Amino acid sequence: MPLESSQSAVRRKPGAERILDALNQRQCLSLTAEAFAALLDDAGALHQFILDSSPELLYLLDSEGRIRFINRRVETLLGFRHQELIGQHYEALVDESFHSLARHMFDERRTGRRAGQPVELKLLSRLGPDGQRTTHPRGVWMELRAEGIYVDPDERTAENYLGACGAIRDISERKALEAQGSPQLAVPLTTKEQLAGQGTVSNWTTEGDFNFRAFHDAVTGLPNRTLFDDRLSVAITQAKRSRRKLAVMFLDLNRFKRVNDRLGHSVGDRLLRAVAQRVRACLRQGDTLSRFGGDEFTLLVPSVRSRGAVERIAGKILDCFDAPFVIDGRRLRVGASIGIALTPEGGEQGDALIEAADIAMYHAKDQGGNGYRLYSEAMNRGVMRRLTTARELRKALSRREFAVYYQPQVSLATGEVCGVEALVRWRHPTRGLLKPDDFLLAAEDAGLLAEIDALVQQQAFTEAAHWRHNGAGDVRVSVNVSGAALEQDDFADKLPARLRKAGLEASAVRLEIDEYRLSQSRALVMPKLQALNELGVRIAADRFGAGYAALAYLQHSPVSQLNVDASIVHDIRADDRGRGIIKAIAAFAGALDVKLLAEGVSNRVQLRCLCAEGYDEAQGVLFSPPLPGSDLARVLNGEAFAGLVRQARLPAGT
């Protein structure tokens, strides 16, 4: 059957077609329950399609590890009859010496980039070296890739786990060449020497190489997931016997993806090796550092005296990222976010501890990265809420449930409204009107921030154009830009296109960008912002002073305004407490010749201080809460705040 006709045989099953596409391209896909059912229902056409087009053995397992589908490639590859395997456990195909390794790979639970790396192992074959069937199965080398399947890809829980899908290819010929000492396939000497020098291996033989590769990561030489799980299992047993705690850490590299995308996988791999070497130097002899996959690592600390002791280890690891990594003469900076799970709070089984550490790591990322968090049960509840929210967000975009509200920005010289900040709100069907704090973290996890940004910008630009054309003067609209949107290659093209569609001049727009993002992504972000600034778009550093950021980004940048974070404004008191930092920021802005906007102004004491120190603009509930566009006209066309500002500008005591 030609490829085209075999595809048309399953075209009536959209879910099955998507699955076949992914498998045929040697990629993995999280399936919905409906797609899984469609695949199984259409088994006849599916088998024929894969038989004609795929050189790989493809399979589907249920949640118990039983084979629900396997293509007929198994007959020519391993000599098993196709039908005799349906309903059997996958271990029926695995060489006994590789059962432990297969347990973590055949029924892989993770999805997407989090799924395990391809692994080499031996499967049983009923075919002899001459291709004839034999009564005594022998082990043959294969490479396996697998991924978990869930009812809902956004809720990867045990209750939602349907099974796993995978692809297997024959690597027996390559292995035979390796066994013969083929120089093209031998492990590089530098890698052997490096790993041996780190105490990873002692005697290198051909068989030793095979065993090492089965339990170690090919890029870093660190223990892989299988070996880590084995050591963790042993450590848990020993910890229970000795009544001591152990800790699992989950490390995720910050900014690694940018290095990999811009400089290539070769540089990325060398950076991973350098990171592994530097982190190993921070550890004790009995600790195990493992590469979990991609830019993620796991660490087992088998004996922990106290919470403080494991926090000191985490701090030491974070400190080792302070110095840049030099790769091919380039100084590359990456950081780490670390999640920590201790027994028994994080669980008493290996999988539970890893999952708890992973959850804690995401909480560390949410706080800006380059830090660590210890797992607590409250975190787990928060993650489940965010997974549910992420699923609802996708529906909200299609149902147009998002609205844009606007908060006035007031000139402290005249009291006039000189601009508005566009703020997204979600009209949730059951929870009411939600603010960004209730859903933006979930949107970021789901990869929806750039899409929400685009929606807010287009609506804000359209409404601003309407106001200006109807007598609101030169009112400016400020829009927030997420890191996800900034990192899009065509960001500097998309924004002008939205302005043209709305009929709004570029000079009427100010982009508000988190100062931490500006300081950490200069090489990637600044050229785009410079191009937009040349069109007339103004740039503001948002949340200025809220956290640590290297101020060097302000030199030779298009930033023309600093938005002082509300947390600093809130510290202003009638007894002059908090005024020192306000005064210092004003002097700093004056030296750089940039304007100042104070966020979160809520009382007259704060307003009087800001006027006295020469701040240019302010916004906050003292003036107005965020309003829907339909209610903003009365604010834009009047002098609602002029008296308030005039009084604040009067000398003290008058």
What does the chain come to in residues? 654
User: What residues contact 378, with CB distance under 8 A and at least 6 apart?
Assistant: none
At 182-203, the pLDDT tens digits run 433 333 333 343 443 333 333 4
At 23-61, the pLDDT tens digits run 444 333 334 444 444 544 444 554 455 454 567 888 889
At 631-640, the pLDDT tens digits run 887 788 767 8
- For residue 547, give the DSSP letter: S
Structure tokens at 485: 């949107």
Structure tokens at 104: 């973590």
At 120-169, the pLDDT tens digits run 888 999 988 777 787 788 889 888 888 888 877 666 667 778 888 888 98
Which of 31-40, 105-114, 270-279, 613-622 has the weakest average pLDDT? 31-40
Structure tokens at 428: 């949730």
Return the higher-pLDDT residue of 44 and 563. Answer: 563
The Cα 372–Cα 367 span in angstroms is 9
- Mean pLDDT to the nearest integer, 167-189: 61
Residue 110's pLDDT is 64
Return the higher-pLDDT residue of 110 and 251. Answer: 251
247, 305 contact by CB (below 8 A): no
Among 393, 413, 414, 508, smallest CA distance to 462 is for 508
Q: pLDDT band at residue 330, thresholds of 50, 70 and 90? A: confident
Residue 466's pLDDT is 93
Residue 134's pLDDT is 78
Residue 184's pLDDT is 36
CA distances to 20, 66, 161 from 75, in Å: 20, 18, 29
Q: Which residues pair with 618 in a beta bridge?
A: 410, 598
Q: How far is CA 52 from the centre of its chain?
A: 38
Judging by beta carbons within 10 Å of its beta carbon (0-12, 13-18, 19+), is residue 162 exposed, middle or buried?
A: buried
Helix, coil or strand: residue 619: coil
The Cα 13–Cα 35 span in angstroms is 8
CA torsion angle 8 14 18 24 (round to 10): -20
Helix, coil or strand: residue 165: strand
Residue 182's pLDDT is 40
Residue 19's pLDDT is 40
Q: Is the backbone of residue 400 left (phi > 0), alpha (psi -120 to 50) or beta?
A: left
Structure tokens at 127: 């075919």
- Mean pLDDT to the nearest integer, 285-295: 89
Q: What percent of the chain has pLDDT over 90?
A: 39
Residue 4's pLDDT is 33
Among 312, 218, 220, 293, smallest CA distance to 252 is for 293
- Mean pLDDT to the nearest integer, 597-607: 96
Exposure on the CB side of residue 342, measured as CA atoms within 13 A: 16
Summary mean pLDDT of the chain = 81
Q: Which amino acid is at 18?
A: R
The Cα 539–Cα 464 span in angstroms is 17
Q: pLDDT band at residue 77, thresholds of 50, 70 and 90? A: confident
- For residue 94, give the DSSP letter: B
Q: pLDDT band at residue 569, thresholds of 50, 70 and 90? A: very high
Highest average pLDDT, of 184-188, 264-268, 527-531, comes from 527-531
236, 343 contact by CB (below 8 A): yes
**pTM greater than 0.85 (yes/no):** no
- Count, in order, helices (H) and strands (E) of the chain: 27, 22
Q: Which amino acid is at 192?
A: K
Among 146, 140, 147, smallest CA distance to 171 is for 140
Q: pLDDT band at residue 6, thresholds of 50, 70 and 90? A: very low
- Nearest-5° angle of CA 200, CA 202, CA 206? 100
Which of 315-319, 552-556, 606-610, 647-651 has the weakest average pLDDT? 552-556
Handedness of CA 272, 278, 279, 280 (dihedral sign): positive
Q: What percent of the chain has pLDDT over 70?
A: 81
- For residue 149, give the DSSP letter: E
CA distances to 122, 258, 515 from 521, in Å: 45, 10, 10
Q: How far is CA 102 from the centre of its chain?
A: 28
569, 601 contact by CB (below 8 A): yes
Residue 549's pLDDT is 59
At 432-455, the pLDDT tens digits run 999 998 888 788 877 899 999 999
Neighbours of 9 (CB within 10 A): 18
Q: What is the CA radius of gyration of the chain?
A: 30
At 343-394, the pLDDT tens digits run 998 888 988 899 899 888 988 887 777 889 999 888 877 666 767 787 899 8
Burial 137-153 (b: 16+ CB within 10 A, else e): bebbbbbbbbbbbbbeb
